[in-house]
A and B are shown apart, each in its own frame.
Chain A
Amino acid sequence: MNSAPILTVDNLKTYFFTDEGTVKAVDGASFAVQAGKTVGIVGESGCGKSVTALSILRIIQRPGRIIDGEILLRRVDGAGKSSEVDLARLDPEGGEIRAIRGGEIALVFQEPMTSFSPHYTIGNQIIETIQLHQDISKAEARNRSIELLRMVGIPRPERRIDEYPFELSGGLRQRVMIAMALSCNPRILIADEPTTALDVTTQAQILDLLREIQERTRMSVIIITHDMGVIAEMADDVIVMYLGRVVESGPVDEIFHQPKHPYTQALLRSIPSIFAEPRSKLPTIAGSIPHPHNRPSGCPFHPRCNERMAGLCDVYAPRLLPIGERQMASCFLYHEPEEAPQA
């Protein structure tokens, strides 16, 4: 399927201007989301995954700001004509982006414990979302909320709807969160570490739920995680991020079976395997993520890379370029440097 993507992020740069200096949380990320597909964004903590998600919704908090790039959301009207809106250009507090937030693009957050306000019932918070985007009465919105809760597998939803978030377990709360995100039939669901705070059995249930809902609604999903297992289970396409940049992207099979970028290879090596020799040491990636104020020159991964080429990787910055038909990587193992050294 070669139709135009529903969401295209191009050269997105989101910087945080702090007193200690500028943090380039997202520094030129590009990727596309196809309709009805799941894109997995993977990377270590601090690589800019969550900031990318918040940038798409334009809810980056000060001192952060999108300083460059495009976020194109494509819409198809009734006559089959498609139009695009650049989210990066919208007023972040304006009506247009607010209609998109929660309406066309919904977010499921990583903290099911704290992402609901403890002062209102879950019903209140779901009904509010529905009424923000749809012109229906409170009673109708309530019925719809109960239906949604039933759909995400909340037992006795007509009673649960009047409970407070702290009366629910973490797993149930994350289900409610998903119900709330789905309440306005979004075309894109961004799930930011949706299972990180949950125990393993609950994780599996939530992932099953997400996949089942996606099959039913044909919406696109962007799933953000540091867990390669989640990616393998959920994603059609994978984006590997490191220090605010996309270092590799491609279909999930290619990423897992022929990873090109040394960082992707290292990530895959560090997954525990049941076939491994007992008591053998789990391979790790040498070093740790550099401090955001101290970005390495050239390729940001070169200090930790075991295939780095002196005089090349530490001087020139690689670009994300195609390798093969559908895979892309930004690494000089596959491309010659084509630009002047970075200052």
Chain B
Amino acid sequence: MPTLGSYTCAVTAYLDHAATTSILPAAARVLTEHLASVGNPSSLHTSGRSARRTVEEARERLAAALGARPSEVIWTSGGTEADNLAVKGMFWARRTQDPQRRRLLVSAVEHHAVLDPAFWMTEHAGAELVLLPVDRDGVLDLDALAAELAAHGPRAALISVMWANNEVGAVQPLAEVVALARRYGVPVHADAVQAVGQVPVDFAASGLDALTLSGHKVGGPGGTGALLARRDLDLTPILHGGGQERGVRSGTLDAALLASFAVAADEAVGARPTSAPRLAALRDRLVAGVLELAPDAVLRGPADPARRLPANAHLTFPGCEGDSLLYLLDSAGVEASTGSACQAGVPRPSHVLLAMGVPEADARGALRFSLGHTSTVADVDALLTVLPAVLDRARAAGLAAGPGTPATAPRPDVASGVL
């Protein structure tokens, strides 16, 4: 058992699968099988055709796993690029069709891969950003969306609402979003990076116009992703060049990476009926165990298991700094996240928690535990074993260093472009 405070731990409990998860054995196998093969999928000779065949088989496999048509798959370098392509490409295309359509509607709890391009578009493309509020569980406020569309529907260029939140695990009411958007002819994009493999994701059934996928989050290799985009969705390219991927996303495709990505996505989706209940049970054990050891801790995100990702547990610990908790857990061999993706190395209170109305002082004591295909009861129990000592020290550090006066941080301001 790792000793609190020792830096060399024989056991590491990895509880940060939402950041990235280890590659699935089948995906690793496919990757290595193809790595040494020569052939540009765009070349016309035998090697080129062979590589193209690998890419197209991967495209078909990925599409089948997610209820999409192969021609709806646009390969990208990852989730971030797919989100950028969706936000920028859909906005420019829609605005070109109808110059009135400049309002860009995104939820206040989007990943930065959606939020930052949205802000960028306000500065460089004349977009009017509308940050859609969420409730205290992090779930989109549908009434606010309905009101926005009722007031400005004909001026809306697109809506981007994630399938499930990466920090607090809230599953968003996309069916309702799509139904509302249809009435006003507004295309909808969803970042489903965290959802695939955890909840059912069917592109055709969703009614979405575009959907973002990431390879490494589902047990595939890094550097892979895709945007599923309906054939009739107009997208202005953001990468120009050789005209690959319908001319929307130029760049030579990597057959080995994409084949591996498709296998991982297929496996993750196929395993979901058994893996999701298994992870949910582990998650429940984790949450119950933590709340027993720390009755003052608060589970963030929806309490209803049906409305949150099965592998996600997000808690705030009053009087503790997330920085301290992360350090203490790490030195005890337990790896978690402070919740917000550490932006370029600088921890900040999470914009997601702030948007949920969590006071900044509480938001600073956040920890996200996320499970994945390698997670076991032993991982959860390792956390529960070291947690009491970790919390004692983190609380002492919180008192010693003083909580500081809560800063008057600007709250996310709907429609003002200020987050």
Q: Do A and B bind each other?
A: no
B interface, CB within 8 angstroms of A: none
